[in-house]
Structure formats: structure tokens, C-alpha cells
A and B are shown apart, each in its own frame.
Chain A
């Protein structure tokens, strides 16, 4: 029986010095066989397991994770959530996720600290202005809140931005999605893990997949560092390592894995109460509840699995940040890290069946997967349970690279990929 988190449970546990909290999830050894196995215990994988159990009554399932849950890109992103994508297919996908975010803490009985503080995207040249206006109109036609702001309105919404016309890339305007914001990324993984575990899902950490056993065109099971696990359905949610897993199954994917970096500053008092992104100069910044500035840098242009990234990428981002926010010029950066992101040629994800029966891939989220975590899990669970995509992820199939029906969000998304 899972104890509910509440004010009452907080007081009760405070009386025993917080030493008697129930374990949030178990640490089981793998069973011999499952109805489905999810490879990858990040936010997307855990959410998939949660919705498989909750909405599709698949309780005899497992999540296998080679490290610890949420230790990959779930714990490495800059926690930004928004749905202001240009194309209809993307708008449907990302806004589905945003709608789930709005009630997620209540649903999971776990505070994911979802904060709708707004996301502002800046325009720095005339083409930016045209693109952002077009995207604002497209968003509104799709029922997504979006407004276009003039330079003065940008300044009013976030006073510390340098809107002087004589900077190298002056701020000519921007868009604002008020329903967008941030969430506590670790809490998302932990909340989904706790919720899935409560419904009987086995979350198996330190269990790396070493091989995928096929019988002709169907799946028989997976070889792991904790032995062979028999299963007819495998859902791979392995982010940067998707190609590695695909290779085990003899499948080719249109992905390239590259390091994406982020960094945080020393903590300071509240100074920026929204999220500001700039595509043209590649700078985005928000402030965590601890007071750190959370800064997202760009990807390197070469394939690498090192979780490091190049120094000049960070340097370029900080140049842009200082031009836009001179007030940060004397702040010190506390930590820098990299995550390996799997990028599709059209910068849109793949949530799809494959040519192998019982093998499903949820990958290609590239530089912006965190925002989609709940929606991705929900739709991927639907795809696995029914062996058919949901209408919201039908466009994000693997076959689009053959048919040519790409969802090209490269320049069209609110930030460069």
C-alpha cells in the first residue's frame, strides 16, 4: 500500500525526524518474463510505464535502466516547458503534454513544481520578427496561447533585458506563451517512478541492455547485465543511446547523437521570473528555485557520447547572455555539464512502431524532449498497448523518412536546434 503525501504525512514524519518515510519505489530483481519491457528509466520511459499500467492495465511490465533513474537527460536539461511549435502535428503533440503538466502534481501526488511563469522568445532581426509573428498566428489557430510583444512590451515583461538599439543583435520584439514555464526535472522522474511502482511496475536500475533477441521479425526478449528477460514487447526510450540499442536489433535509425551543454550560476536572489529564449543568438535563461541562473547552451556539431561538449559552445552562449543581460557580467558559473541528445534530420521526435513486431522506439527528441515528457509517455504507452499510434503521434512515425512526409521543425521551432 502506498502512503499518500500530504500535509498530515509531512507533520507525522517530522515528529519522527523524517527517518520513517516509506520507500518511494522498490528495488526488485528482474522476473523471468514480462508483458512489456521499457528500455530507459528517464522521464519518458517512466511515464510510458506509468501510463501503460494506469490507462492500459498492463501491470506485468518492467523498466530497465543502465544507471539510475533520471540520471541521464532527465536530470541534465534546463527544465523548460512550452508548446508554441509551428506545425499542426507538433502543436498537437506538445500541447497534449502541456495539458497533462497542468494537472500532473495532483495526479501523481508528487510535487513536480510546475511553474507557469511564461516563456518569451526574442526576435533579433526582421526575418525573426516575421517568423515569430507567423508562429504566433499558427499557435492561436491551434488553440495554443501566444502573443506577440513589441520591444517595449518585452522590456516591461522582463526589465533586465538590454533593449538598447545599438547592441549587436538588438531586440526587435518577441513572443510570449504564458502557460509555458518550468518544472523540477528530477521530481518528474521520481513522481512517475513512484506512481508506476505503486501499480506494480518493476523499476530495475543498474541493468544495462546488452542485446535484443529476435525470432525472425518478432521480439523474444532482451539480454541484460542482470540476465535474460523474456518479453514480446520492447519499448526503447534510450535518448542519446537509441542508435546503440537499434543496432542490437539490426535496425537503422536516422539519428545523430551529439553533446548538448547547460550550466548554472551561483545562486542569487530572484532576478528573472520568467524564461527567456533567443534563437538567433542562442541564449536561453531562467532562474531555479534555488536562485541559480539556468543557462542552456548549444550542441556540438560532431557525434559524441562523452557527455562533455566543447568550451567554445559555452563561450558563445555566455557572450550572448552578457550582451542581452549586462547585469549578469560579474556572476560566476557554478557547474557545467553535457547530455547526449539524439537529433533527427527534421528535428522532430520518433514515436513509432518498427519493421520488427513488438519493437517500438521513442527517440529523436533532440534538444527539447523534457517539455514533452508526460505527453510522450502517454502516447507511447498507447502505441505499445494497441500496436497502433495514437492520432497525435501518427505523424511522428519512422516511415516519414521514406515517404518524405517530414515534420520540419528546424528553424520553425522557437529555438535553433
Chain B
């Protein structure tokens, strides 16, 4: 359990948030052009990193806004939080 600094509401208990998985997976621009391999890559394959990972979170029981988080999955330490559309911090 950890505290998350929502970019809109400030620091809140993790219980208020919902994890939304890996961030920066781009939706295919031409879905009809995609091969089965590319669909599998987009839909199912994940980095699942042990270490610093970029992910999406939603303040589900708060402002309900989505944002991005950089978190070390080996110790749950949050490195950075930034809004949707903002450039990810360099790691």
C-alpha cells in the first residue's frame, strides 16, 4: 500500500486509485491494416518490467481523471507522476 500524489487532487491513499496497466501503448492508426501478429502485440504482449515501469493510473474514487506514473515495480517506489499528454520524464 502506498500514497499516490494525484496531479489534480494531491496526495491520497492508493485505495482510491485503479491501476490501468502499461502506459504509452499507442492505439493502431490503421487497424484494418494490422496483421494478426501486430494485433497480438498491441492487445496482449506486455513489458511487465521488474524495475522502472511507465504505467497509467486512474483516480477512480476521486477526480476520476487518468494520469501517468513512473514506478519501480521491484520496491513499489514512485519515481514520477505526470498528466496524460505530457512528455514522459527521461529515465
- A residues apposed to B, CB below 8 Å: 241, 243-244, 247, 252-257, 300-306, 308, 310-312, 342, 345, 401-404
Contact = CB atoms under 8 A, between A and B. Distances in A.
Nearest to B41: A252
Contacts of B50: 241, 243-244, 257, 305
B14 A345 contact: no
Given A243-B46, A254-B45, A401-B40, A311 B75 contact: no
Interface string B42-86: 011111111001010100000000000001011110000000000
Interface of B: 1, 14-15, 18-19, 21, 36-37, 39-41, 43-50, 53, 55, 57, 71, 73-76
Nearest to B35: A402
A303 B73 CA distance: 6
A253 B15 contact: no
B37 A402 contact: yes
20 contacts: A243-B49, A252-B45, A254-B44, A256-B46, A256-B48, A300-B19, A301-B18, A302-B71, A303-B48, A303-B73, A304-B76, A305-B73, A305-B74, A306-B74, A306-B76, A308-B76, A310-B15, A345-B43, A402-B37, A402-B40
**CB-CB nearest 6 A-B residue pairs:** A302-B19, A254-B44, A243-B48, A252-B45, A402-B40, A301-B19
A302 B15 CA distance: 12
Nearest to A340: B50
Contact of B48 (A255, A310, A402, A404): A255
A345 B40 CA distance: 11
A118 to B, nearest CB: 35
Contacts, number: 70
Q: Which of B47, B48, B50, B75 has the most CB of A within 10 A?
A: B48
B53 A303 contact: yes
A302 B70 CA distance: 12
A310 B46 contact: no
Contacts of A253: 45-46, 48
A401 to B, nearest CB: 4
B36 A403 contact: yes
B14 A310 contact: yes
Contacts of B41: 252
Given A257-B73, A303-B19, A306-B73, 9 more contacts: A243-B50, A252-B46, A252-B47, A256-B46, A256-B48, A300-B19, A302-B71, A303-B53, A311-B1
B48 A257 contact: yes
Nearest to A345: B44
A253 B71 CA distance: 20
Contacts of A401: 40, 43-45
Given A252-B45, A257-B48, A402-B37, A303 B1 contact: no
B17 to A, nearest CB: 9
Given A256-B21, A345-B44, A310 B73 contact: no
A300 B76 CA distance: 12
Nearest to A303: B73
Contact of A312 (B15, B18, B43): B15
B58 to A, nearest CB: 10
A239 to B, nearest CB: 12
Contacts of A342: 48
A252 B53 CA distance: 15
A254 B73 CA distance: 17
B1 A312 contact: yes
Contacts of B44: 254, 345, 401
A87 B43 CA distance: 23
Q: Which of A303, A342, A345 has the most CB of B within 10 A?
A: A303
A303 B55 contact: yes
Contact of B46 (A244, A254, A301, A311): A254
Contacts of B39: 402
A68 to B, nearest CB: 20
B45 to A, nearest CB: 4
Contacts of A310: 1, 14-15
Contacts of A402: 36-37, 39-40
B37 A304 contact: no
Contacts of B40: 254, 401-402
B61 to A, nearest CB: 11
Contacts of B21: 256, 303
B31 to A, nearest CB: 15
Nearest to B71: A302
Contacts of B47: 243, 252
A396 B53 CA distance: 28
